[in-house]
């Protein structure tokens, strides 16, 4: 396979496309509200209307407005239909013949869509994730080809460092620096791992990327492997994501068949194979050292760092580990250049970020916005404010490792630095809107219960400390505590944060510390 | 042999490169409390008793797994560390069922000694009183999970020194439990050679010689160190 053949596959795919494409969401959110039946009915309706020559029905990935699924969009007109039932299919097709729509139309010009800036999700909801030809038709795998034939590993890393991309798995570590470290390590055998464990409650960004555009992640991993000198990669994904696993398997198979993965990629000397490892859904297995232990077939316990995986990772070899979304950014950066990527976002946080907007908000779903978009723009403009007419009390980010942004700080731009200042973190990208009917002690209690259950139990502060913190929170919530309990809780928070072995324990007190910082009176009211 | 010079509690110490802060402190006669550390087996940094402060680093570091560096300035006994260690100890006592008065190692217990050492006079956290089993299916030894602090010394000594790998950890969080074989009664695990190494490794009264009366059991810790020195350095000294 050379570039010409690759381009030909894309052209053939584009030429075979019919004039009108009815996109029907086929990601987990919409499937759970019966979108598969919608698609079948749409196909039947097209046939019955005799429009097969000009109209095709395509199953595509996530169309973002998950709260109003199943979603259907008719291209190129862009007409959006929400909450489509199978019996609406005939009406949607009838519109193509000039009739009135009876199916519920949505507003594709709502800020929920217009404020988005798709980079990671550029193909999501547009291409069929199960057909490599559609990814290639959208320009896919050309960046990989270019990297292999036109760039040295160092040039790739320089471009990436220049782009300013930072890890999307939570900590925001500069991706270029990480790649450079692994590339510099000596050693025959190196590995690339994609972290698709996504265990934060309320987060579904990585799942959406994998279900909607799996080839993008494979391409990112292959470029990474070329840059750091690895020939083998693993995707560690939780068993709770069967559809994503299935699509990844199909994608790997298709790419191998075309010579885009496996040995001698694009007939070059570069080999790279990708295997999938399915995790049992423990939150702690998202921590990189625990994840590596799990891939090795051991108990998923974190271990002290250093040595970092870049130095000694999988089976003791230098290992690059990045998040799904981090890898999904690579192909566009190679294609458009680091300068272009740098131009998006804020001074220290470049590019876009995908968020899963959930909680007490009108418009729930998946959004991708430039770094620096304010929380207010996300929650009020895009999210449409609180559902049932309530008032925003706080916005939670970073899941069990994060904290709250109080309502009076909604104008904060979302980037790594500003969120840290507020005492929370970007995390992997869950944004949960909390309304004024929610008790903040209850919120803290919820996350502590989660951490207590997900603690691996290796180190004492986290294993025993989260249990005690939960107990005190429960006591406060049920009005059985006294003021000394709050002091005890705070002291314990500091100790667990400073003494725990891995990020789970170190950040488990965050939801408590954050709610104590902004909503202390709610604790005191319960005393 | 490269040497690193560092300062621990204002005392200058020069040690071999690659050693841990814990080893360096021991060479200089400075005491750092430990619990999961055991001479002769690998370190895992799990109990967090050995945490120290290092100038210029804004987190606490576990002395048992942190290598020394040139010009490192280490503090092992600040007010914060003392408070944290005491709290850590209290968490351990609240988590299990440690009734010293009826324990085989009362008076010879590392956990008990350490509690005294860190100045723990009472436990400010509520006792969990977990329901934990005792397994006396082994002909010579028993394990009382009420006293287990999950330090995994038994797991490591059996795996790394005896090579039998009888022990493992099951479950997670507070449900964690040391299991033998494939979660069978210890007495049914064929892999166990009854060597007694885990008995000597256990810091509490959890693993014990059967039919030992209360407060008389002593462990032979030196035997494990002797074995590893003999194997690694071919020196048979105690
Ligand atoms: C308890 C815990 C859970 C984590 N879960 C995830 C996860 O689900 N997905 C992820 O990408 N990173 C997770 N991380 C972060 C990883 O350890 C690691 O930093 C990340 O995969 C690095 O990728 P990046 O540089 O692309 O962000 C977790 C960390 C901790 C401490
Ligand atoms: S902090 Fe918690 S999850 Fe991390 S190693 Fe310690 S017990 Fe395990
Ligand atoms: S007696 Fe020896 S072989 Fe048996 S469990 Fe203990 S250490 Fe392992
Ligand atoms: S049985 Fe003893 S040595 Fe084993 S984990 Fe428990 S306390 Fe540690
Ligand atoms: S002795 Fe260092 S963590 Fe246990």
Please write the tens of the pLDDT for every residue from A327-364: 999 999 999 999 999 999 999 999 999 999 999 999 99
Averages of pLDDT over runs of 10 residues in chain B (238 residues) are 94 97 97 96 97 97 98 98 98 97 94 96 96 97 98 97 97 97 97 96 96 82 80 80
Cα–Cα distance for residue pair B112/B106, rounded to 1 Å? 8
- Residue B67 has a CB neighbour count (10 Å cut-off) of 14
Cα–Cα distance for residue pair B80/A416, rounded to 1 Å? 29
| Domains present along chain A, CATH in parentheses | 16-114 (3.40.30.10), 140-340 (3.40.50.11540), 353-433 (3.10.20.600), 440-525 (1.20.1440.230)
Cis amide prior to A70 (ω within 30 degrees): yes
Mean of the per-residue pLDDT values of chain A: 96
Q: How confident is the model at residue A526 (pLDDT cuts 50, 70, 90)?
A: very high
B60 contacts in chain A (CB < 8 Å):
498-499
Contact between B191 and B181 under an 8 Å Cβ cutoff? The reply is yes
Can you give A477-500 as a three-state secondary structure string? HCCCCCHHHHHHHHHHHHHHHHHC
pTM for the model stands at 0.96
Average pLDDT, stretch A107-125?
A: 95
Sign of CA dihedral B88, B94, B95, B96: positive
The CA distance from A394 to the nearest CA of chain B, in Å, is: 30
pLDDT digits (tens, 9 = 90+) for A403-433: 999 999 999 999 999 999 999 999 889 999 9
Q: What is the pLDDT of residue A260?
A: 97
Cα–Cα distance for residue pair B30/B23, rounded to 1 Å? 10
A468 contacts in chain B (CB < 8 Å):
91, 94, 125-126
The set of protein residues with a Cβ atom below 6 angstroms from ligand 5 is: B 34-37, 45-50, 62, 64
Question: Do A460 and B87 lie within an 8 Å CB cutoff?
Answer: no
| Domains present along chain B, CATH in parentheses | 3-76 (3.10.20.740), 84-233 (3.30.70.20)
Q: How confident is the model at residue A325 (pLDDT cuts 50, 70, 90)?
A: very high
Q: What is the pLDDT of residue B216?
A: 81
Q: Which of A299, A453, A501 sits opposite B46 (nearest CB)?
A: A501
Question: Do A458 and B47 lie within an 8 Å CB cutoff?
Answer: no
CA of B39, nearest ligand number: 5
The CA distance from B89 to the nearest CA of chain A, in Å, is: 9
CA distances from A364 to A172, A266, A274 (A): 25, 41, 33
Q: Which of B46, B47, B125 sits opposite A468 (nearest CB)?
A: B125
The contacts of residue A207 (CB under 8 Å, 6+ apart) are A27, A28, A198, A241, A244
Q: Which of A452, A491, A499 sits opposite B60 (nearest CB)?
A: A499
Cα–Cα distance for residue pair A177/A198, rounded to 1 Å? 23
CA of B132 to the centre of ligand 1 (A): 34
Flag the least confident range among A131-145, A244-258, A352-366, B206-220. Answer: B206-220
pLDDT digits (tens, 9 = 90+) for B36-78: 999 989 999 999 999 999 999 999 999 999 999 999 999 999 9
- CB-based contact, B122 to chain A, within 8 Å: no
Cα–Cα distance for residue pair A314/A189, rounded to 1 Å? 10
Q: Which of A352, A349, A348, A346 is nearest to A333 (CA)?
A: A352
Q: What is the pLDDT of residue A524?
A: 97
- CB-based contact, B154 to chain A, within 8 Å: no
Cα–Cα distance for residue pair A383/A432, rounded to 1 Å? 11
Q: Which of A163, A190, A188 is nearest to A175 (CA)?
A: A163
- Residue B232 has a CB neighbour count (10 Å cut-off) of 9
pLDDT digits (tens, 9 = 90+) for A456-496: 999 999 999 999 999 999 999 999 999 999 999 999 999 99
Q: Which two tokens stand for residue B39?
A: 């001479």
Question: Do A499 and B51 lie within an 8 Å CB cutoff?
Answer: yes
Cα–Cα distance for residue pair A442/A447, rounded to 1 Å? 9
Is the CB of B227 within 6 Å of ligand 3?
no
- CB-based contact, A501 to chain B, within 8 Å: yes
Q: What is the pLDDT of residue A37?
A: 94
Angle between helices A175-184 and A153-163 (to 10 degrees): 160
Residue A472 φ/ψ, nearest 5 degrees: -65, -40
Helix H or strand E segment including B12? strand B11-16
Q: What is the pLDDT of residue B118?
A: 96
């Amino acid at each position: 396979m050379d570039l010409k053949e690759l381009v030909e596959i894309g052209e053939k795919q584009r030429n075979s496309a019919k004039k009108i494409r009815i996109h029907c969401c086929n990601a987990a959110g919409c499937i759970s509200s019966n979108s598969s039946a919608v698609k079948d009915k749409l196909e039947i309706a097209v046939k019955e209307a005799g429009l097969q020559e000009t109209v095709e029905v395509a199953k595509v990935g996530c169309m973002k407005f998950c709260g109003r699924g199943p979603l259907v969009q008719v291209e190129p007109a862009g007409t959006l239909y929400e909450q489509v039932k199978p019996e609406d299919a005939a009406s949607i097709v009838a519109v193509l013949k000039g009739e009135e729509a009876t199916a519920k139309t949505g507003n594709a010009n709502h800020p929920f869509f217009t404020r988005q800036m798709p980079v990671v999700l550029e193909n999501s909801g547009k291409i069929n994730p199960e057909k490599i030809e559609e990814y290639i038709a959208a320009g896919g795998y050309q960046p990989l080809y270019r990297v292999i034939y036109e760039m040295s590993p160092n040039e790739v890393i320089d471009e990436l460092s220049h782009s300013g991309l930072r890890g999307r798995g939570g900590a925001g570590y500069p991706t270029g620096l990480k790649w450079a470290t692994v590339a510099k390590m000596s050693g025959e055998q190196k590995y690339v791992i994609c972290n698709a464990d996504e265990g934060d409650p309320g987060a579904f960004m990585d799942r959406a990327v994998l279900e909607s555009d799996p080839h993008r992640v494979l391409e990112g991993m292959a470029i990474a492997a070329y840059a750091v000198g690895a020939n083998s990669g693993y995707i560690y994904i939780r068993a709770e994501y069967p559809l994503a696993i299935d699509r990844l398997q199909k994608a790997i198979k298709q790419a191998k068949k075309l010579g885009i993965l496996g040995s001698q990629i694009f007939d070059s000397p570069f080999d790279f194979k990708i295997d999938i490892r399915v995790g049992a859904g423990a939150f702690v297995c998202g921590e990189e050292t625990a994840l590596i232990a799990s891939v090795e077939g051991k108990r998923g316990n974190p271990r002290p760092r250093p040595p970092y995986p870049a130095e000694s990772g999988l089976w003791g070899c230098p290992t690059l580990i990045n998040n799904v979304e981090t890898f999904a950014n690579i192909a566009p950066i190679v294609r458009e250049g680091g300068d272009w990527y740098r131009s998006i976002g804020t001074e220290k946080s470049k590019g876009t970020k995908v968020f899963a907007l959930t909680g007490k908000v009108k418009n729930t779903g998946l959004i991708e916005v430039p770094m620096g978009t304010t929380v207010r723009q996300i929650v009020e403009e895009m999210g449409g404010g609180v559902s049932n007419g309530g008032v925003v009390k706080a916005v939670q980010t970073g899941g069990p490792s994060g904290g709250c942004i109080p309502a009076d700080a909604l104008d904060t731009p979302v980037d790594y630095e500003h969120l840290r200042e507020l005492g929370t973190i970007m995390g992997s990208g869950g944004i949960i809107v909390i309304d004024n009917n929610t008790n903040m002690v209850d919120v803290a209690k919820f996350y502590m219960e989660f951490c207590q259950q997900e603690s691996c139990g290796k180190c004492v502060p986290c294993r025993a400390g989260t249990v005690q913190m939960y107990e005190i929170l429960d006591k406060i919530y049920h009005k059985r505590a006294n003021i000394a309990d709050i002091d005890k809780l705070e002291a314990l928070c500091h100790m667990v944060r400073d003494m725990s072995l891995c990020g789970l324990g170190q950040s488990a007190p965050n939801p408590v510390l954050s709610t104590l910082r902004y909503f202390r009176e709610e604790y005191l009211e319960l005393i | 042999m490269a040497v690193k010079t560092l300062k621990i509690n204002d005392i200058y110490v020069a040690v071999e490169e690659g050693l841990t802060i814990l080893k360096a402190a021991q060479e200089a006669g400075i005491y750092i409390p430990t619990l999961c550390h055991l001479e002769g087996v690998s370190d895992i940094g799990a109990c967090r008793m050995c945490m120290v402060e290092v100038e210029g680093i804004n987190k606490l570091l576990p002395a048992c797994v942190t290598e020394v560096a040139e010009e490192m300035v280490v503090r092992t006994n600040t007010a914060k560390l003392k408070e944290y260690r005491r709290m850590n100890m209290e968490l351990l006592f609240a988590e299990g069922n440690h009734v010293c008065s009826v324990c085989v190692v009362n008076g010879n217990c590392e956990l008990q000694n350490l509690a005294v050492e860190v100045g723990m006079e009472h436990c400010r956290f509520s006792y969990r009183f977990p329901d934990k089993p005792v397994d006396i299916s082994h002909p010579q030894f028993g394990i009382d999970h009420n006293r287990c602090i999950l330090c995994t010394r038994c797991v490591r000594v059996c795996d790394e020194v005896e090579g039998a790998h009888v022990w493992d950890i099951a479950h997670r969080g507070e449900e964690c439990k040391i299991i033998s074989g494939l979660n069978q009664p210890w007495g049914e695990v064929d892999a166990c050679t009854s060597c007694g190494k885990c008995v000597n490794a256990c810091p509490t009264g959890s693993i014990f010689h059967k039919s030992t009366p209360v407060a008389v059991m002593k462990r032979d810790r030196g035997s494990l160190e002797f074995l590893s020195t003999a194997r690694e350095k071919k020196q048979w000294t105690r």
